[in-house]
Each structure stands twice: as structure tokens, then as C-alpha cells.
């Protein structure tokens, strides 16, 4: 299973990384916008929207995406301003609302989950577009999520004894959490040791990597709680070794826009 997960991650990176560095901003936004719509469609299936409702939901998502293409969205003054705003609300959700939601194990109404899906997918898409301003930073953040996920799975599978949240996700353990933190710490040391050329030094410090790992775990648990509410094992079955799109991107959804926003706030108010 771990081997399949690693192979799948490598294949995804082989597609995303060249596109991240080589595509013009607008075509990168189109590419990740299409992926975001697939993620939104899978979210609609997860929460059980009927076919006609799902179609309207996707059209609404596409219309919101199209809205952001107006007025030279990809300029620094346009796109980044919107990305900061959505990143702020994503940070509020993942740092405050989601932990409370997980603690209370709340079963949310479908309408609320539909609105939440739009926010989460929009924040993911804008995070990808915002991060493309310096693709090296975006690569570091994404690769940190993948390192945390893979090492957590390895530690949990081989050493896991103490359950993290047995009701929400019985397979996750505190040993997996420790493994994720150790893995991203070593990755941070590796990048700094070899002087990885990132534009912002903060992107390779351990606290940032720990934040990415912890937010990734929160995103993973939150998706598991939603799947449990609707009696699902996987969010879908389109990615070998992972299940669906959300099973692959849950850690990115919860960490990418939040970390970009927090680091940007540090730079702005320093």
C-alpha cells in the first residue's frame, strides 16, 4: 500500500511540478482550476447531492472561478488581494472552526457542507494561483505535505499503537503524528543544508514545516469525519492507492492557503 501511495505521488508530482515551473500563470490557473472542479464534483458526491443539484453546484463553482478571471486577476494587485482575503477565512476555518468541529464530531446539514465545499475548493485554487508567483515556494509547501503524509503513513503502519482519533479515523495514531513531525523536520534540515533556492527564508524553517504537517493532519481528520457522516471509506476511487481526489489533497487544502496567508502576513507586518 505504501509503495502504491509513493508511486502515485511521484506520478502526480511528475505532472504538477513541470507545469508549476513552466506554464504561464493563466494556463497554470486553468489547469488547477479544472482539477478544482473535479474536486468540487467529488465533494458533491461525498455529501450526497442529487444529479441536478450537483450540476447546478458545479456551474456555480465554475461561475465563481470565471469571476476571478476578470480585471487582470493575475496581476499582483488583483489576484493576491483576493487570495489574501480567502486565505484569511481559510485560516479562520482550519485553525479555529475545524478543530472545534472535530472535537464535537458535529454532523453538519448538507447545505452547510455544500457552502463549505465551495470555500475550501476556492481557497485551494487561489492558493495554487498565489503560490505560482514563486513556484519554488509552492514546490516546497507541496512537497512538505507529501513528505508528512508518506512518513506518517509509514510510522503509523509499522509503529502505531496509540489511536489519535479512533471514532473519526481508527487507522491514525500518535506515532504517525510524531513520524510526520520528524519527517518534515529532517526535510527542513535537508533543504537548509543544501541551500535550496527559495525566495523567502521562512519557507524552510522547522516551525513552518510543523505548521504544514499539523494542518495536514487536521485536514485529513476533517475529511475522515465528513466521510464517516456519509458512511464512506474513500472520497472516490480515481487515484490508485489513495481512493479519490480528496484523499490525496486533503492535507494540501488545509495547509496551502493558510501557510501562504500566515507567511504573507508575517512579511507584511514585520
Summarize the confidence of residues 105-125 as an average pLDDT. Answer: 94
Q: What is the pLDDT of residue 75?
A: 52
Which value, in Å, is the radius of gyration of the alpha carbons in the chain?
A: 18
Query: Per residue in 55-94, pLDDT tens?
Result: 999 999 999 888 877 655 555 445 567 778 888 899 999 9
Q: What is the mean pLDDT of the chain?
A: 84
The answer to whether 242 and 5 are in contact (CB under 8 A) is: yes
- pLDDT for 174 equals 93
C-alpha cell read off for 147? 513528505
pLDDT tens digits, 27-40: 888 899 999 999 99
* pLDDT-derived band at 239, boundaries 50, 70, 90: low
C-alpha cell at 88: 484569511
Q: Are 247 and 219 in contact (CB under 8 A)?
A: no
Model confidence at 188, in pLDDT bands (50, 70, 90)? confident
What lies within 8 Å, CB to CB, of 19 at 6+ separation is 28, 31
pLDDT tens digits along 245-267 = 888 888 999 999 898 888 777 66
| Other Cβ atoms closer than 10 A to 26 | 12
Task: Give the pLDDT confidence score for residue 202 in this predicted structure.
Answer: 57
Question: What is the per-residue pLDDT for 80?
Answer: 67
Question: Which of 41-45, 191-195, 208-212 is predicted least confidently?
Answer: 191-195
**Which region among 130-134, 136-140, 201-205 has the lowest average model confidence (pLDDT)?**
201-205
pTM score = 0.89
Amino acid at each position: 500500500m505504501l509503495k502504491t501511495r509513493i508511486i502515485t505521488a511521484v506520478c502526480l508530482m511528475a505532472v504538477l511540478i513541470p507545469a508549476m515551473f513552466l506554464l504561464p500563470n493563466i494556463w497554470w490557473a486553468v489547469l488547477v482550476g479544472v482539477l478544482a472542479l473535479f474536486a468540487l464534483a467529488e465533494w458533491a458526491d461525498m455529501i450526497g447531492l442529487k444529479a441536478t443539484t450537483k450540476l447546478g453546484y458545479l456551474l456555480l463553482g465554475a461561475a465563481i472561478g470565471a469571476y476571478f478571471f476578470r480585471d487582470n486577476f493575475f496581476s499582483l494587485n488583483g489576484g493576491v488581494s483576493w487570495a489574501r482575503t480567502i486565505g484569511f477565512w481559510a485560516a479562520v476555518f482550519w485553525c479555529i472552526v475545524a478543530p472545534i468541529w472535530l472535537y464535537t464530531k458535529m454532523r453538519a446539514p448538507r447545505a452547510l457542507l455544500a457552502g463549505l465545499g465551495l470555500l475550501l475548493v476556492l481557497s485551494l485554487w487561489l492558493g495554487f494561483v498565489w503560490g505560482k508567483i514563486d513556484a519554488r515556494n509552492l514546490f516546497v509547501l507541496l512537497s512538505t505535505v507529501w513528505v508528512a503524509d508518506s512518513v506518517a503513513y509509514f510510522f503509523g503502519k509499522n509503529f502505531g499503537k496509540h489511536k489519535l482519533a479512533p471514532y473519526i479515523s481508527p487507522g491514525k495514531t500518535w506515532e504517525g503524528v510524531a513520524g510526520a513531525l520528524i519527517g518534515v523536520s529532517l526535510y527542513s534540515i535537508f533543504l537548509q543544508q543544501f541551500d535550496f533556492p527559495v525566495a523567502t527564508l521562512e519557507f524552510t524553517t522547522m516551525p513552518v514545516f510543523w505548521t504544514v504537517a499539523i494542518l495536514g493532519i487536521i485536514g485529513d481528520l476533517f475529511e475522515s469525519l465528513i466521510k464517516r457522516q456519509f458512511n464512506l471509506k474513500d472520497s472516490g476511487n480515481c487515484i490508485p492507492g489513495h481512493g479519490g481526489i480528496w484523499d490525496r489533497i486533503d492535507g494540501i487544502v488545509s495547509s496551502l492557503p493558510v501557510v501562504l496567508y500566515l507567511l504573507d502576513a508575517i512579511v507584511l507586518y514585520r
